[in-house]
Amino acid sequence: MAMIIDGKAMAMGIRKEVAEKVADLKKTTGVEPKLMVVLIGEDPASTIYVKNKEKACKETGINAETIRFPAEIKEEEVVAAVKEINRQKETHGILVQLPIPKHISEEKIIEAISPEKDVDGLHPNNLGRLLKGGLPWFVSCTPMGIMEMVLSTGVEIKGKEAVVVGRSNMVGKPTALLLLARHATVTICHSRTTDLKEVCKRADILVGAVGKPELIKGDWIKKGAVVIDVGINRSEKGLVGDVDFKQAKEVAGYISPVPGGVGPMTIAMLLKNTLTSAARSAGYHLE
């Protein structure tokens, strides 16, 4: 039976630490970390995610403000608004809540964000630095959370075989690069990979981030593997991940649940990135 990686408990610990450092930053420098969230349209899931982020910021002493645009807004208006936020010295982090309406280029909006305020780690400058093995201003929040969860197991990453199922710029590719930076042998695959089951069975560390409900079954998993489930899928059973949790927990050594796994860690990493940006702007050294 697998050990459960409790992302909710881990995230609470990180949020407590962030709150303490935010308080010290304010006391020492007078700087209050500020996050600006850009929300376009009224997608119900996005609205809930933004409320959760605002609540988390408030609880840790970070000032969060959301700019809401109607779904029919023109692309150039959003770009201009983002560039204006870049110029605000009191704003340390900018996050565009995805997805956005199809008539607006996600790429153009993200490219408009200053890399130094891109706390979601999606700007090409930050992704490119990560690819080169250098230090990006920020790493995408979900991959950061995934790595914290893997490290919490105490399992040695160096030399291990890691498989990431999913190739998105937000999760799959950055996660693979972070694992590679820790000297894992990494395979990126996806729903079209030939004999996906056999590839997954090789993994000492398996990350499911493809967005297909319970795609990864128990017999796809190597005995004792670390399994991180990034998927959040609505089904007849309620919220389920990309991994069949009931089957997988009988085989894996460590496994993250859905919900209560990667989701809370993603928000915790967003808070951490926003604090880091504010501290840099103030010349304040975080321990």
Q: Which residues are catalytic?
A: 53, 97, 120
Sign of the CA dihedral 178, 180, 183, 184?
A: positive
Within 10 angstroms of residue 154's Cβ, the number of other Cβ atoms is: 7
Which of 244, 250, 251, 188 shows the shortest CA–CA distance to 222? 251
Q: How far apart are CA 7 and CA 193, in angstroms?
A: 29
Instruction: Of 162, 231, 146, give the one whose Cα is nearest residue 203.
Output: 162
A 10 A CB-CB count for 40 gives: 23
- Of 105, 224, 110, 104, the C-alpha closest to 161 is 224
Taken as a whole, the chain contains a residue count of 287
